[in-house]
Structures are given as C-alpha cells and as structure tokens.
Amino acid sequence: MSFGSVLEDLRHRDKVFDFMMPQASAQLDVSKGYILYLEDISVSFDGFKAINDLNLYIKEGELRCIIGPNGAGKTTMMDIITGKTTPDKGSAWFGQRLNLLNMSEPQIAEAGIGRKFQKPTVFEEHTVFDNLELAMAGDKQVLSLLFAGLSGEQKDRIDEVMTLIGLQDCRYERAGSLSHGQKQWLEIGMLLMQNPKLLLVDEPVAGMTHQEMDRTAELLNSLAGRHSVVVVEHDMDFVRSIARTVTVLHQGSVLMEGTMDQIQNDAKVKEVYLGE
Ligand SMILES: Nc1ncnc2c1ncn2[C@@H]1O[C@H](COP(=O)(O)OP(=O)(O)OP(=O)(O)O)[C@@H](O)[C@H]1O
C-alpha cells in the first residue's frame, strides 16, 4: 500500500475515519449476560412516532434477526443504538455500565459497537489485505503503520479475519474486482478488525446469489458467540437459515419475538406483516 494512495483515499473518503476507531473499551460489563438493553424508547419525527415504547434486549453472543415491514423503525432503532439519533425518551445501555444516550457516535464505536450498512464501502483501489490493514489502524496509528510496517501479531490477525470471511485466496486482489458478495464479506472483515462486541448488520444479503447467501449465513453464524450480532433483513429464507430468535417490529414497537416457526404461524404477524 503506498503512502500517496492512502492519503488520496483519506482525502476523498470520510468513511475511513469510521474504520479507525480504537478497540473495544474495557468498561463493557456483560456480567448479567446481556449486551444491549433498550427500554421504553420513543422518538418522533415531525410528530410521527417512528419508535414507540420500544423494548429490546440482546444477550451476549446471540445472533438476533430483526424483521418488519417498510417504515417499522428498524433503521431508526439502529441509529439510536449507534448514537446517530437521540430518542425523546427511554434508556439505552451497552452492558450494565455504558449509557449509550450519554455517548457520542465515535465513543459508541470505540466502546465496541460496529455497524455495517447495506451498501459495501470498501476501498476499491486497494487490495483485500490493505483494506483489512487500514481497518485495523487506529486514527493515530495509520501513519506509523505505513512507515513501520505490521507486527507479526497484526499480520496474523489480518490472516485470521481473511480466512474467517473466506477471502484468503484473494488477498492481493483489488477490492474493486471482487463480487458483490465478496465485498460485503470484506466489509464485515473490516468491522471485525476493530474487534467489536456488538455488530449491527443491515440487509447483508440484498443482491447476493444463493451461494453467497449460504456463505453469509455461515459467516454470521460463526461470529455469534464471540460477538453479539443483530441483523436487519427482509429475506425470510435467509432469516430462517440463521436466526434462533426473530424480533418483529411494527409501528416502532416489538410486535412479537420468537422462533421463525412461531412468528410465521402467529395471527398478528400474518395480519400486519405478511398481509394475510
Ligand atoms: N429523519 C427522519 N425524518 C422524518 N421521518 C423519518 C426520519 N427517519 C425515519 N423517518 C420515518 O420513520 C419511520 C421509520 O423509518 P425507518 O427507516 O426506521 O423504518 P425501517 O423499518 O428501517 O424501514 P425500511 O425497511 O423501509 O428500511 C418511517 O415512516 C420513516 O419515514
């Protein structure tokens, strides 16, 4: 990776700064087994209640899927967790000790909440390896990394993540030449370089082939346990293939939580969500 090309990217890509957060804070306390608590959260936009007394609890290490019709409040909920939107009322805690409503977006990222947006935003001109290297660097470390090179431990970490996301054979390929699915995995890998405790993933399989979807299901399943993962997804086959617990949002509140079978057989869900 050349110094000039990285500076060029830094000039043109605000997004790079998201990848340069230091690793998860030591303050996270999950001794009660839960990593996220959202309680009685409401938020209105111009008088319209996008989130309405929402309660949601995520256990440490769990993989949760959130579904719901358009406008149910899924994106707004993610925005509240990451500090982009401040609710009108309610509380949001990351573990027992970190009050998300008192933290800025960078502080929340630094504390260990990583978010993957729907559209992949990898550095197209850089290789897979370099993308992961850049993602690993803290904002003060990027220049020293360029000059001093990587330690053995850092190289091992990049290799580990590259294998996890299934791109070990593409390490020297330009990210721009990867398939859509591979770019999505690379971006998940870039998030993992920050070692987040909670990963929020927005519609990961939109636009993927069936094969890519299967691989993504495997990847997200393999992350659960070491990370807590919240996936917002519209594709029901995919949700069925990964989720143990599914939460249905409707009009800014939780309509139901349960297994996919329970949800698909629930009369309320059929009425409001499946339109039956
Ligand atoms: N900044 C905003 N200003 C005004 N209204 C907003 C704003 N953000 C969201 N909304 C409204 O709040 C409601 C919830 O939107 P949100 O995007 O959270 O839903 P969603 O479940 O993510 O939907 P989709 O599945 O379509 O992405 C929608 O009616 C939306 O129009």
CA 116/CA 198 separation, integer angstroms:
11
CA of 182 to the centre of ligand 1 (A): 28
Question: Is 117 touching ligand 1 by the criterion CB < 6 Å?
Answer: no
Question: What average pLDDT does the segment 89-100 reach?
Answer: 96
Enter the pTM of the model: 0.86
190 three-state secondary structure: helix
Q: Is the CB of residue 3 below 6 angstroms from any atom belonging to ligand 1?
A: no
Which ligand 1 atom minimizes the distance to the CA of 51?
14
Q: How far lies 152's CA from each of 6, 20, 149, 156, 221, in Å?
A: 22, 20, 10, 6, 28
Q: Does residue 182 line the site of ligand 1, with CB under 6 A?
A: no
User: Taking 90 as the threshold, does the pLDDT of residue 25 lie above it?
Assistant: no
In this prediction, residues 26-39 reach a mean pLDDT of: 90
Q: Does the pLDDT at position 197 exceed 90?
A: yes
Residue 129 dihedral angles phi and psi, to the nearest 5° = -60, -50
Q: Residue-wise over 176-209: b if at least 16 C-beta within 10 A, else e?
A: eebeebbbbbbbbbbbbbbbbbbbbbbbbbeebe
- The first and second tokens of residue 99, run together, are 């009050």
Mean pLDDT (the chain) is 87
This complex has an ipTM of 0.94
pLDDT, one tens digit per residue, over 112-152 is 999 988 877 899 999 999 999 988 865 556 656 666 677 88
C-alpha distances in Å from residue 205, one per residue of 72, 119, 179, 253:
19, 10, 13, 24
The CATH architecture one would assign to domain 25-107+232-276 is 3-Layer(aba) Sandwich (3.40)
Hey, where are the domains in the chain?
A: 25-107+232-276
DSSP type of residue 33: S
Residue 177: strand, helix, or coil: helix
Q: Whose CA is nearest to atom 31 of ligand 1?
A: 71
For ligand 1, atom 4: residue with the closest CA: 45
- For ligand 1, whether the C-beta of 74 sits within 6 Å is yes
Q: What is the pLDDT of residue 22?
A: 43
Q: What band does 276 get if pLDDT is binned at 50, 70 and 90? A: low
Q: Residue 101 gets which letter from DSSP?
A: G
Residue with the bigger pLDDT between 140 and 105: it is 105
Q: Pick the residue whose CA is nearest to atom 18 on ligand 1.
A: 73
Q: Would you say the CB of residue 72 lies under 6 angstroms from ligand 1?
A: yes
